[in-house]
Structure 1
Amino acid sequence: MRYKNLSEMFHSTCKQYPDKVGMMYKEGGEYKSILFKDIQKNVDSIAAGLATLGVKKGDKVVLLSENRYEWAFCDFAILTNGGVTVPIYPTLLAPHIKFITNNSDAKVVIVSNAHQFSKIKEIENELPQVEKFVIIDPENVEHEKLITLSDLQRQGEEFLQKNPDFIEKSIQQIEPGDLATIIYTSGTTGEPKGVMLTHSNFLSNIEGSLRAIPIEASDTFLSFLPLSHVFERMVGHFLANYVGATVAYAESIETVPENLLEVRPTLMASVPRFFEKVYARVMESLEAGSALKKKLFLWAVGVGKEALKYKMKGQPIPGGMFRFKYRLADKLVFSKLKERVGGRIKFFVSGGAPLSKEIGEFFSSADLLILEGYGLTETSPVITVNRLNKFKFGTVGLPLDNVEVKIAEDGEILTRGPHVMQGYYKNEAATKEAIDEDGWFHTGDIGIIDEDGFLAITDRKKNIIVTAGGKNVAPQPIENLLITSQYIEQAVVIGDKRKFCSALIVPNMDALKKFAQERGIQYQSTQELFQHPDVQKLYQQEIDAVSKDLARYERIKKFALIEEPFTIESGELTPTLKVKRRIVEERYKDIIDKMYEEAEEVSA
């Protein structure tokens, strides 16, 4: 590997490109730039500031913040100090934050603003090992253990004046196998597990990824996926820094379409949900357009798909009449679509959840290639990725050249190599279950490797739901919460590859009939009772009440009441009364599809 640790990588890039723009952020209605030399100065002062708080090599520091340039500053500073970054999603609530902070043995907690600090205040008496809180935006927040980031930097600058060789010495003592981060990910039980990733885990994955997809210092990333997630942290943070590319931070997920036009990035990592939204908008405008516009569009897409056949083989587009048609299609149709994403995109990288083959083909036929990849938090994360000159839709590409992949007898995808995590923090049993004696990590996913070596994910071994937005949701704990309601007998959470979670609910009919009697609700059939506005309102209130401590992406947005209970006899339950999810989803497919169609109509 080129570098010994991530901090050496960071400082090398800053010294190589001191006067180049390293980061961009929006303030006062316009994007502003930060040069690499100024990024380094800020990172070093924060690293030294953390040292004044007693943070030393191996100490854990929680980072609870939205995406912003200070997030990147703090992460590189923690790493420079020899510390271990513990990122927490800013959408998580106090109970989750408490578990992660305590389980990770964090010494310092960095928060972005008053809103995030209010969650900390709820649980501050239950965080015995935390010695100091750091806040990025002070906003008149006061607390005896709290220091602002700017004050921390001032302390760091004073410390560096007295200890000018601190940064260099600190970087030199960090070994490749030292821990860089602990990222908490929910398992099937819903109990978060702390994935331990080292400096060499990330560096090997960066170098393997760069040999697969060309990224250069001249590139500009638009970063909008949560940096707390390993996918964005790897691609739009570490990998971008390795090559000296510019990272522009989107204001929020909602402003991505606007920010694309302002930043005009050349690259962007995304989850399928973004592409689904753009695709839906294109289709809507097509439906609203004239017959001629529709005909022209479909002709152009046809030409684009024909051109794709050559691109997929790494061959040039033929000359003559076909090239003329392709250029015309580009000028009349594709160029307009490309302008919607800034006009400079070389390619997108998609991960976190499966991408629809149809959507992948559509974008790529319009000369907006989406390179779909596959990985997990436990694998730093990239295992496979499609290449610019070698890609297949409906697959997640070829393994990186420093990664091994094989399919077990039961169809599970196994992987081995320098990208595999050190283990789960303070959870040896889970580590042994995940990584076998030969070093193979068991992904929990079912897949096949085709004759050309491309990996396709065919199924999930476990029941973890992965939403269209790439969020992992453990359904059982949510179902267990739902059935705590006196009005709910059974519940099954749905949401895999969907935009949100929904639930099939079997009511407790005795309790529901009593409720109807007390309210004077008249009904001729059970279905009529289920559809009564007061009953719908009751179940919505019950769901909301038990969901208050869930993360936003875990909450149930739609539900359907069903009459027949799940039973062993009907084949919907195992002998130990576990739900056979696939059977339930197949049996109630029409009801499930209707829930999501209704939601689409409401949002349209």
Structure 2
Amino acid sequence: MREVAVPPLTTIADSGGLADIVFTNAVEAPGATAFRRKIDGTWREVTTTQFRAEVVEVAKGLVAKGIGPGDRVGILSANCYEWTLFDFAIWAAGAVSVPIYVTSSAEQIEWIMSDSGAVAVVAENGALEAKVEDVRGKLPALEHVWRIDTDAVSGLVSAGQGTSDDVVTERRTAVTPDDLATIIYTSGTTGRPKGVVLTHRNLLSAVGNAVEYLGPMFKSEGASTLLFLPLAHVFGRMVEVGAVMARATLGHWADVKTLTDNLAVFRPTFILSVPYVLEKVYNGARQKAHAGGKAKIFDAAAATAIAFSEAGDRAGLGLKLKHAVFDRLVYSKLRAALGGQVAHAISGGAALGTRLTHFFRGVGITVFEGYGLTESTAASVVNAPGLFKPGTVGKPLPGTAVRIAPDGEIQLRGDGVFTRYWQNEPATKEAIDGEGWFSTGDLGELDTDGFLRITGRKKEILVTSGGKNVAPSVIEDRIAAHPLVGQALVVGDGQKYVAALITIDADYFTYWKTTVGKAPSATIAELAEDPDLLAEVQRAVDDGNQAVSTAESVRKFRILATEFNPENGYLTPSLKLKRSVIMKDFSEEVSSLY
């Protein structure tokens, strides 16, 4: 059994919790810009002192409304400044925040609120408030519903006018690291979500070590980030707390469609992303270049960026000169699309791929690919400055131990790893052994240098009728890297061979039609059997097949007219395939492949 453990870079105090960070910042750096928030179209600064004052005022309101130590308070909102304000105010009041995705159905909201026993919820707008009201009759513990876009903040501030600041101080200082900080419900690809209990120690350890480990990103002068991945996800939450802890300026954004315009104005120095977004950046730039008659220039620039990154310190003079030319012609424009100052990105949730990792590093943006789960407080393994190996998810985060079980399953242990599921002892016992090792359900390999490579998901392993075990994620990620492919789902459990359901990227499909003479009005459904479209998707499949053995390769595929996304229930909010749902709804299409 292979095991790698890395000692922590930070120590956790015996008392205090996450809210203390806000108060420490206001004392040690009173004029520092903690946030930039968009008000009436303008990004305005919020200092550490101002943020502390707002946290205290909202916390006083929560206390006045009867929120007690340990009480659960839901946050049902897209990313915004108020999300973080309420998060820290809830902690300052000694209470527990329960994030809920805005894409959640009324039934999901009911389950999370009911299971957590939340006594209050903060909803972003009328539509989300209405979802809560629809199920309020089934939530006897729920006493308050506050709405952000009307008077949630001002109303609580008014309610707390008669409460002394000392009450908040007493609540905040009574918190210990082992007290519950948040319950995050796993989006889950199957079954009802489980509530992952994360303590103040979990977050302080995982985030504190990440901030130190990724110091050049979090702690460089003028460090800032525009957070556009959901705060309801543990990945976004890690960066929220990390930015506050490192005193990096944090901004919030929720609408990915208008992200580029706001990146240009906000100009972050690092971003949090998922492979899907980075693939979109690359494919969009490539598409624009090809449409503008600059295909050869872009393709040569991309090849040069990859070669430059692969060469590292061994890059010769000729490669350096080519790189410098393309930096002026191409790379600088790509960086400008992300605001012009982005030097680093953290990527997780799925495999980015070695090629794109090298491409972005060659462009001047180092992507630190990592791995973690809600149960490990986000990243438990991550690439870092000086400890960087494309194609892997890095080494264990300081304070974390990783081992590979005899069956290949990745197991984790450390202060960042949770200790229980909320009110679900059977699930806890199944996930955590007597020595504190958490079985992730993912499969992986540790190389001789201690870098982890993800090879699949234990529960997703397909077994063909010939007895061959197939990890679908490996080939799915490769196929989906093609710009024309939206998602790929590999099937073949109990069958003679492996096949795939493939969706088409709608944006790239529009451009692709212009390159092959298809009618602009032609739909994916109309062209699903078109020879040109089939040939292009076959090229994506052929590329994916190169990553696996012949027995694991995709022999047939079916193009679907339906897109997989969180809105229609085929992807989780973190963009993972809901296999059981897809297999059920597209059972006829799967059968047609055999």
TM-score by length of 1: 0.75
Report the alpha carbon displacement of residue 400 of structure 1 after superposing the two structures with TM.
1.0
Match of 2:207 in 1: 206
Match of 2:386 in 1: 389
Partners of 1:376 and 1:540 lie apart in 2 by 31
Partners of 2:197 and 2:389 lie apart in 1 by 32
Q: Which amino acid aligns with 1:430?
A: A
Q: For 1:232, which of 222, 231, 236 is the aligned residue?
A: 236
Whether the aligned pair in 2 keeps the contact of 1:188 and 1:463 (CA below 8 Å) is no
In the alignment, does 2:120 pair up with 1:119? no
Match of 2:34 in 1: 22
Q: 1:230 to 1:564 in 2, by over 3 A?
A: closer
In the alignment, does 2:459 pair up with 1:456? no
Whether the aligned pair in 1 keeps the contact of 2:286 and 2:298 (CA below 8 Å) is no
Report the alpha carbon displacement of residue 48 of structure 1 after superposing the two structures with TM.
0.9
Higher RCO (CA < 8 A, seq sep 6+): 2
Partners of 2:370 and 2:52 lie apart in 1 by 31
Count of matched residue pairs: 491
Q: Secondary structure at the match of 1:439?
A: coil
Whether the aligned pair in 2 keeps the contact of 1:136 and 1:149 (CA below 8 Å) is yes
Q: Which amino acid aligns with 1:228?
A: A
Partners of 2:70 and 2:407 lie apart in 1 by 39
Match of 2:182 in 1: 181
Whether the aligned pair in 2 keeps the contact of 1:136 and 1:150 (CA below 8 Å) is no
Match of 2:496 in 1: none
Residues 538-577 of structure 1: per-residue CA shift (max 9 Å, x gap): x999x99x979998876879976747859xxxxxxxxxxx
Whether the aligned pair in 2 keeps the contact of 1:308 and 1:364 (CA below 8 Å) is yes
Report the alpha carbon displacement of residue 310 of structure 1 after superposing the two structures with TM.
4.8
In the alignment, does 2:290 pair up with 1:287? yes
Partners of 1:496 and 1:294 lie apart in 2 by 26
Match of 2:414 in 1: 417
Match of 2:532 in 1: none
Partners of 1:498 and 1:83 lie apart in 2 by 45
Partners of 1:325 and 1:549 lie apart in 2 by 43
TM-score by length of 2: 0.76
Q: Please identify the structure whose Cα radius of gyration is greater.
A: 1
In the alignment, does 2:16 pair up with 1:13? no
Match of 2:95 in 1: 83
Report the alpha carbon displacement of residue 165 of structure 1 after superposing the two structures with TM.
1.6
Whether the aligned pair in 2 keeps the contact of 1:63 and 1:88 (CA below 8 Å) is yes
The 5-angstrom pairing of residues 185-584 of structure 1 reads: 185-187=186-188, 189-214=190-215, 215-216=218-219, 218-235=222-239, 237-290=240-293, 293-311=294-312, 315=313, 322-463=319-460, 562=588, 565=591
The 5-angstrom pairing of residues 156-171 of structure 1 reads: 156-159=160-163, 163-171=164-172
Match of 2:517 in 1: none
Whether the aligned pair in 2 keeps the contact of 1:176 and 1:200 (CA below 8 Å) is yes
Partners of 1:422 and 1:497 lie apart in 2 by 38
Partners of 1:305 and 1:227 lie apart in 2 by 32
Q: 1:561 to 1:419 in 2, by over 3 A?
A: closer
Q: Secondary structure at the match of 1:348?
A: strand
Q: 1:18 to 1:2 in 2, by over 3 A?
A: farther
In the alignment, does 2:137 pair up with 1:134? no
Q: Which amino acid aligns with 1:349?
A: I
Q: 1:564 to 1:335 in 2, by over 3 A?
A: closer
Q: Secondary structure at the match of 1:192?
A: coil
Report the alpha carbon displacement of residue 232 of structure 1 after superposing the two structures with TM.
0.6
Match of 2:58 in 1: 46
Partners of 2:500 and 2:63 lie apart in 1 by 47
Q: Which runs of 5+ in 2 are unaligned?
A: 1-10, 462-471, 481-486, 490-498, 507-528, 530-559
Partners of 1:365 and 1:548 lie apart in 2 by 36
Q: For 2:76, which of 56, 64, 79 is the aligned residue?
A: 64
Partners of 2:39 and 2:500 lie apart in 1 by 39
Partners of 1:121 and 1:328 lie apart in 2 by 59
Report the alpha carbon displacement of residue 298 of structure 1 after superposing the two structures with TM.
3.7
Q: 1:306 to 1:463 in 2, by over 3 A?
A: closer
Partners of 2:286 and 2:586 lie apart in 1 by 29
Partners of 2:457 and 2:281 lie apart in 1 by 27
Whether the aligned pair in 2 keeps the contact of 1:212 and 1:385 (CA below 8 Å) is no
Q: Which runs of 5+ in 1 are unaligned?
A: 139-146, 476-492, 501-526, 528-538, 567-586, 589-604
Report the alpha carbon displacement of residue 19 of structure 1 after superposing the two structures with TM.
2.0
Whether the aligned pair in 2 keeps the contact of 1:195 and 1:423 (CA below 8 Å) is yes
Q: Which amino acid aligns with 1:82?
A: G
Report the alpha carbon displacement of residue 210 of structure 1 after superposing the two structures with TM.
2.1
Report the alpha carbon displacement of residue 283 of structure 1 after superposing the two structures with TM.
1.5
Root-mean-square deviation over aligned CA pairs? 3.4
Partners of 2:417 and 2:388 lie apart in 1 by 24
